[in-house]
Amino acid sequence: MKSPVLFLLLLAFALGAAAQPPANRWADADRMAIRTPAACHANLDSLAVYLKGAGRDEATRARLAFTWIAHHVDYDVHSSYAYTVVRPDQQAASVFRNRKGVCAGYADLFRELAQRVGLEAVVVSGFSDARRMAPHAWNVVKIANQWHLLDVTFAAGGVTPDRKFVRQFDDAYFLTEPRHFAADHLPFDPMWQLLHQPLTVADFKAGRVPAIAAGAPFSYPDTIARHLSLKPFAQELESTERAFRFHPDAPMVRHAWENARRTAAHQRFEAATAALARYYAIKAEALRKSPRHLNGQEAHVLELLGGAQEDYQSVIRTYEYLAAHGTGQTDTAVHNVKAANDNLAYVRAERTFTGKYYKTPKLLRLFVLLSHPELVRF
């Protein structure tokens, strides 16, 4: 039989151990990030090599990058409040070199370091203050095939009433649970809330985090996977469209939405003109030498002209839509629409010609070519 005294001692030890606060999971990683050797601060490459070597898994590498930035980059208070001056470059390389930045710089530096240590990360833009709806930027990072939220800017510290940055590390903004993160972060694109039931703008302003509603939830992992499979300009187009539907009254969202559409229209105009130039070269060669330069490229020629027609039509539709729903037509837009219409007329004429040309027996195609020799330089 066990001694009552021994039993009481064991019970007291067990209760005392249970009462101890849990050890900080990230203590070792934080220490390595804070005490990074000076030689590793020479450039982003050397820092990334050190962080990657120090991190045994994806979560630890994300923590190392997060903690390093929060402890080594100062918040640029002057640039944040100086609305009348051009802000310093907020790209990762500049922020790393200057050890100073605003939220966009913090977020881009985390994205860059995360990618260099083998992680997938994205910069997210949105609002951080439900009362003022202040513009802000933060990150999502993919760890073990799951997306997580973090905000290095908020983790680094804060600004005093007399506008001085005070470093005060707060790891509550590392891999924060989405419903808690939503209390002070509302992304322009609701996809990046990482909630199966995204908050509305009204919910955010009122400080509400709604319960999961009945019915089929929003599958944000599928939406993110499809979104990231697109080309960059298509991602921007899709994301700004979702953001505009979500925040139709936010001027900066509308501005981004219009710019994305103008950029996409410009890119499609350039693609159509490049396709038309390739067709022009093929037809010019056929006129100079022999119809065989057209004969052997029927599929390619039809693809070039079909793609150009589709792109020019898209350009015209985009500018017409912006004129009706955006801020109106600019001089550049008017010029681009006229150029697209002129080139579209040429494309249609050439499609009529090629349709007739390829239906004609090969021995007679020279006569068809000579009856339609028009060439337009681009």
Residue 307's Cβ-side half-sphere holds a number of Cα atoms within 13 Å equal to 18
Q: Could you give the CA distance from residue 70 to residue 72 in angstroms, rounded to a whole number?
A: 6
- Cα pseudo-dihedral 177, 32, 69, 23, rounded to 10: 30
Given a cut of 70, whether residue 14 has pLDDT beyond it is no
CA pair distance 112, 55, nearest whole angstrom:
16
Tell me the H-state helices in the chain: 4-19, 27-34, 44-54, 58-72, 77-81, 92-98, 103-116, 152-156, 178-181, 201-206, 220-228, 232-246, 251-288, 292-295, 298-325, 331-359, 365-371
Topology (CATH level 3) of domain 27-229 = C8orf32 fold (3.10.620)
DSSP string, 125-175: EEE--TTT--EEEEEEEEETTEEEEE-HHHHHEEE-TTS-EEE---GGGEE
Average pLDDT in the 111-115 region?
A: 97
At residue 19, does pLDDT exceed 50?
no
Task: Look at residue 166 in the predicted model and tell me its pLDDT.
Answer: 94
What is the separation, in whole angstroms, between the first and last Cα of the chain? Answer: 100
Please determine, for residue 377, whether its predicted confidence score (pLDDT) is greater than 60: no
Q: What is the pLDDT of residues 319-363, one digit of tens each?
A: 888 887 766 667 777 888 899 999 999 999 889 888 887 888 887
Domain boundaries, the chain: 27-229, 257-371
Phi, psi (rounded to 5 degrees) for 128: -120, 0
**Rounded CA gap, 172 and 170, in Å?**
5
For residue 72 the two structure tokens come to 């080594």
Residue with tokens 């020799």: 373
Residue 378: its pLDDT value, please? 38
pLDDT at 247: 86
Contact 97, 109 (CB under 8 A): no
Q: What is the pLDDT of residues 38-77, one digit of tens each?
A: 999 999 999 999 999 999 999 999 999 999 999 999 999 9
